[in-house]
Amino acid sequence: MSQAQADGLRLRVEECWNVGLLSLDAQQAIVTIGFEMTPDARPIEGSIRLVDAEGGSAAGQQQAYRTGRQAIIECGSDGYGLPSALYDQWREVEITFNPARMSFR
Amino acid sequence: MNLTTKALIVTAALALAACQNPRGGMDAGFGAGAGGVGGPGGIGMTELGDPNDPGSIAHFNERVGDRVFFETDQSSLTQLAQDTLRRQAVWLTQNPQYQILIEGHADERGTREYNVALGARRANAVESFLIQQGVTASRLRTTSYGKERPVEACPEARCWNQNRRAVTVVQ
Amino acid sequence: MMDLTRPSFVAGLLALAALALAPVAAPAQSGPLRIEVTEGVIAPVPYAIPDFVPENAAAAQYAGAIARVVANNLTGTGLLREIPRDAHVGRITSFDSPVQFSDWRAINAQALITGAARLDGQQLRVKFRLFDVVSGQQMGDGLQFDGTATNWRRMAHRVSDAIYTRLTGEGGYFDSRVVFVAESGPRENRRKQLAIMDQDGENVQYLTDGGTLVLAPRFSPRGERVLYTSYEGGTPRVVLMDLASRSRQLLADQPGTMTFAPRFAPNGQSVIFSLSVGGTTNLYALDLGSGQRVQLTNTAAIDTAPSFSPDGGRIVFESDRSGTSQLYVMPASGGQAQRISSGEGRYSTPVWSPRGDLIAFTKSQGGRFHIGVMRTDGSNERLLTSSFLDEGPTWAPNGRVIMFTREAAGGDPQIFSVDISGRNLRRVPSPGPASDPAWSPLLP
């Protein structure tokens, strides 16, 4: 699987990661969300789970998780367009959402 | 000197006064742009008199010059300002029956409260100079209108220059 | 968390030589694909708010109006976008019936607000629920508000605050008022009146009659009194007005001095202000109980526009002691002042955020004016606006939004608001030209 293909997934998620409603507290949280994909590169909603969280308060991390989860589902609803021949490489994904550059503190 | 010559001289004098005094003589004396003298909603009244009468307020406003101007952000008195204030001091000491209110003003290119303080600084600079020139201190009061009472409101140097002023109001 | 460093270095090198078709070295068959997302979008989230259900006929006039006030508040944040009612396919006909989420997903709503109103005599009861349409879950508890019908707007604002908090995790700011100066007449002889309105521009009332020049009103910490500067004696003096009775008292009146730029201490028991005498302007504090006055600064400069930190321990103010206006912070009892502004240009009108984390200010540079924010040590300065004349910021109760005065060259002043991200610049409605806004805390 190429770097370009991994970047493609990242860019698609970035288009849907809506940080507008994040509280200033949640903007400090870095959350890692794990999930599984179907063979046609759609996220399996039931598999989405919080793998790790740091920064911000518990409430901020919760909000950051909900927002990241929303992004994964929204931009993957038509599939992420990943090559099915390499399914084993992207069947499981972990995305770390780091809002530091988006924060307006 | 016949009447025509006198009339010509008076006309020339008035024209000269108008050049030196951008506000002109007509309404310069009525509170000189103040927010109202004499209590909430009250209106003070002052007889201006005839500018030809050297002891009249109109004469002070139009012939002596009732105001001085400042550079941007400055409260120091220019040479021209000092000349005007010397003339003011002479007239004020010759006419001790009047009380004096010095109003400081600023142009619009600053924030509200700083401009009130800047106007106060300008009024105080004039007051100190007049006292130094022999005007009795107890006759003098100061106030500041900041940027609230422009002589003319337009977003250009032409107006800003007129608004950065201290006006000596004779009452 | 992020372990693509090694392979992406390799991948980066190969990418230089050819199209980026080099294989991603790790992970192999085991271990998930790991990606870091650092950029996102700020897009208003679509929501739907059908008219609230009138639970009896008498409530009909309030049910729709309350929903509109809520919608106006939420959309006005710039964070939410209302899906118009004529696009709704579902209807809410009863507050307690289960919601058909498919109806709301069909119009791409991510949030749904349902509500109801009931009027018995003069008693109005308003209820609401907030739903996350995507997950089909209610967000937080439903709430019910009870009050007199004349307070229907305040109830709508409290509904708005509760929804806002559930959606953003932040405190709200809608149940609040703004005191300001209403202006009229020619610029050379401007008529200025104190006025007060709800933060959405409704319910305007006038507090003075315009016969006397008035400037820059500020609220007391609980919002029941207003300090302002009045020219009723011909010189600027600080006045304290009680909003309920409209009774007024002159504070710190001393012949031969001018007083202005007043603000309350957070405990509501003392007032700080500028006093000009002999051409210098220094800061003074006045204890309202004892009447005792203390001088806090003693320089030949102009010290003005003081503002307390929310814990009452420090004061930020504007001083030109260095030659031009800059911002300084000192202990509330006076003493050593530290300069915190560091950029080019002049800094004025500092106001400490109610959250304590930021200081808003006016900056002028090169003939332009800006509203900006900085951290309380002066770092991270960000300018939020730019125009011919922007000045005098005031904070929303939650420290996320700022109102200020904007005047176009040769134009009339208006009140504007902006989010601290710099987004969502909007005009705040007022009856005419308006300036010097001050935002109240959330109403009790």
Q: Which of A54, A67, A104 to mutate to test the interface with C (most CBs of C within 10 A)?
A: A104
If contacts are CB pairs under 8 Å, which of residues 361-380 in chain C contact chain A? Answer: 380
Q: Using CB atoms, which residue from B111, B145, B151 is nearest to C362? A: B111
CB contacts of C1 in chain A (<8 Å) are 30, 32, 52, 96
Total domains in the fold of chain A: 1
pLDDT at C350 over 70: yes
CA distances (Å), C434 to each of B163, C188, C206, C214, C243, in order?
Answer: 22, 16, 12, 12, 20
Contacts A88 to C, Cβ<8 Å: 29
Q: Which CATH class is domain C45-168?
A: alpha beta
- Whether B113 and C274 lie within 8 Å, measured CB to CB: yes
Q: What radius of gyration, in Å, describes the C-alpha atoms of chain A? A: 14
Residue B48 has pLDDT above 70, yes or no: yes
Chain B residues with CB-CB distance to C260 below 8 A = 113, 116-117
Min Cα separation C7/chain A (Å): 9
Residues of C in contact with A32 (CB under 8 A): 1
Query: Was domain C177-439 assigned CATH 2.120.10.30?
Result: yes
Could you tell me which chain B residue has the CA closest to the CA of C391? B111
Please answer yes or no on whether A93 and C33 come within 8 Å at the CB atom.
yes
| Alpha carbon of A40: minimum distance to chain C alpha carbons (Å) | 16
**How far does B155 lie from chain C, in Å, by closest CA?**
5
Chains B and C are in contact, defined as 3 or more C-beta pairs closer than 8 angstroms: yes
Return the minimum-mean-pLDDT range out of A2-6, B71-75, B81-85, C259-263: A2-6
Separation in Å, CA of C350 to nearest CA in chain B? 11
pLDDT in tens, C221-233: 999 999 999 999 8
Block residue for tokens 């439903």? C142
Q: Summarize the confidence of residues A31-58 as an average pLDDT.
A: 96
Q: How many CB atoms are closer than 10 A to CB C203?
A: 11
pLDDT of residue C30: 66
- Asked whether the beta carbons of residue C41 and residue A17 sit closer than 8 angstroms, the reply is yes
Highest mean pLDDT among B28-32, C27-31, C393-397: C393-397
Task: Select from B75, B112, B125 the Cβ nearest to the Cβ of C392.
Answer: B112
Q: Do C39 and A17 touch (CB under 8 A)?
A: yes
Which region among B45-49, C36-40, C106-110 has the lowest average model confidence (pLDDT)?
A: B45-49
Among A62-76, B21-35, C209-223, C386-400, the least confident range: B21-35
Q: Which pLDDT does position C16 carry in this prediction?
A: 53
Domain residue limits, chain C: 1-40, 45-168, 177-439
Tell me the mean pLDDT in the region C411-434.
97
Residues B118-166 pLDDT 10s: 999 999 999 999 999 999 999 999 999 999 999 999 999 999 999 999 9
CB distance C161 to C173 below 8 Å: yes
Distance to chain C for A4, nearest Cα, Å: 6
What's the pLDDT score for residue C23?
Answer: 52
- Nearest chain A Cα distance for residue C242, angstroms: 35
Interval C146-179: pLDDT, tens: 999 999 999 999 999 999 999 999 999 999 999 9
pLDDT band at C6 (very low <50, low <70, confident <90, very high): low
Q: Chain centroid to CA C342: how far?
A: 25
A66-76: average pLDDT: 92
Chain C residues whose beta carbon lies within 8 Å of the beta carbon of residue A26? 169
Statement: residue B12 has pLDDT above 60:
no
C59 confidence band (pLDDT: 50, 70, 90): very high
Q: What's chain C look like in SS3?
A: CCCCHHHHHHHHHHHHHCCCCCECCCCCCCCCEEEEECCCECCCEEEECCCCEECCHHHHHHHHHHHHHHHHHHHHCCCEEECCHHHCCCCCCCCCCCCCHHHHHHCCCCEEEEEEEEEECCEEEEEEEEEECCCCEECCCCEEEEEEHHHHHHHHHHHHHHHHHHHHCCCCCCCCEEEEEEEECCHHHCEEEEEEEECCCCCCEECCCCCCCEEEEEECCCCCEEEEEECCCCCCEEEEEECCCCCEEECCCCCCCEEEEEEECCCCCEEEEEEEECCEEEEEEEECCCCCEEECCCCCCEEEEEEECCCCCEEEEEECCCCCCEEEEEECCCCCCEECCCCCCEEEEEEECCCCCEEEEEEEECCEEEEEEEECCCCCCEECCCECEEEEEEECCCCCEEEEEEECCCCCEEEEEEECCCCCCEECCCCCCEEEEEECCCCC
> What's the pLDDT at B109?
95
Chains touching chain A through at least 3 C-beta pairs below 8 angstroms are C
DSSP B149: S
Contact check, Cβ <8 Å, C304/B113: yes
Domain spans, chain B:
3-30+45-170
**What separation in angstroms does the CA of C265 have from each of C136, C296, C353?**
46, 14, 14
| Predicted local distance difference test score (pLDDT) of residue A5 | 86
CA A63, A64, A68, A71 torsion-angle sign = positive
Ranking A42-46, C22-26, C63-67, C390-394 by mean pLDDT, the lowest is: C22-26
- Tell me the pLDDT tens digit for each residue of C91-144: 999 999 999 999 999 999 999 999 999 999 999 999 999 999 988 899 999 999
For chain C, which chains pass the contact test of at least 3 CB pairs under 8 Å?
A, B
Round the CA-based radius of gyration of chain B to a whole number and report it. Answer: 16
Contact C39 A2 (CB under 8 A): no
Chain C residues 235-294 within an 8 A CB cutoff of chain A: none
d(C-alpha B30, C-alpha B38), whole Å: 13
Please check the confidence at residue B7 and state whether its pLDDT lies above 50.
no
**Would you say A94 and C35 are in contact if contact means Cβ atoms under 8 Å apart?**
yes
Residue B38, pLDDT score? 43
Residue B11 — pLDDT band, cuts 50, 70, 90? very low
Unique residue bearing structure tokens 């605050």: C161
Among residues B162, B150, B140, which one has the least CA distance to residue B34?
Answer: B150
Yes or no, beta carbons of C410 and B33 under 8 Å apart: no
- Indicate which CATH number applies to the domain containing A44: 3.30.1150.10
User: What is the per-residue pLDDT across C296-309, written as a single tens digit (0 to 9) for each?
Assistant: 999 999 999 999 99
Q: What is the dihedral of CA A60, A61, A63, A67, to 10 degrees?
A: 140
pLDDT attached to residue B4? 52
Contact status of C430 with chain B (Cβ, < 8 Å)? no
Taking the C-alpha atoms of residue C313 and residue C334, their distance in angstroms, rounded to an integer, is 10
Domain enclosing residue A89, as ranges: 3-102
The per-residue pLDDT of chain A, averaged, comes to 92
**Are C235 and B155 within 8 A, CB to CB?**
no
Strand ranges of the sheet holding C303-308, from the earlier edge strand across to the other edge: C303-308, C314-319, C326-331, C338-339
Predicted confidence at residue C312, as pLDDT, reads 97
- The pLDDT tens digits of the residues spanning C428-437 come to 999 999 999 9
Distance of CA C23 to the CA centre of its chain: 51
Tell me the count of A-C CB pairs closer than 8 A.
130
> Which token pair is A39?
């063979």
Task: Give how far Cα C158 sits from Cα of A91, C31, C96, C143, C324, Å.
Answer: 46, 49, 21, 10, 44
Q: Are C255 and C221 in contact (CB under 8 A)?
A: no
Q: Which residues of A touch C12 (CB under 8 A)?
A: 3
Residue C29: per-residue pLDDT: 54
CA distance C102 to C123: 35
- Asked if residue C34 has pLDDT above 80, the reply is yes
State the architecture of B3-30+45-170 in CATH terms. 2-Layer Sandwich (3.30)
Q: Which of residues 189-228 of C touch A (CB under 8 A)?
A: none
Judged on CB neighbours under 10 Å (0-12, 13-18, 19+), C19 is exposed
Confidence category of residue A105, pLDDT binned at 50, 70, 90: low
CB–CB of C24 and A26 under 8 A?
no
pLDDT number for residue C272: 98
Total CB pairs under 8 A between chain B and C: 124
Annotate B30-70 with DSSP letters as a single string.
Answer: SGGG-S-SSSTT---------TTSTTSHHHIIIIIISEEE-
Tell me: pLDDT of B30 over 80: no
Identify which of C408, C318, C335 has the alpha carbon closest to the alpha carbon of residue C368: C408
What does pLDDT average to over chain C?
Answer: 93
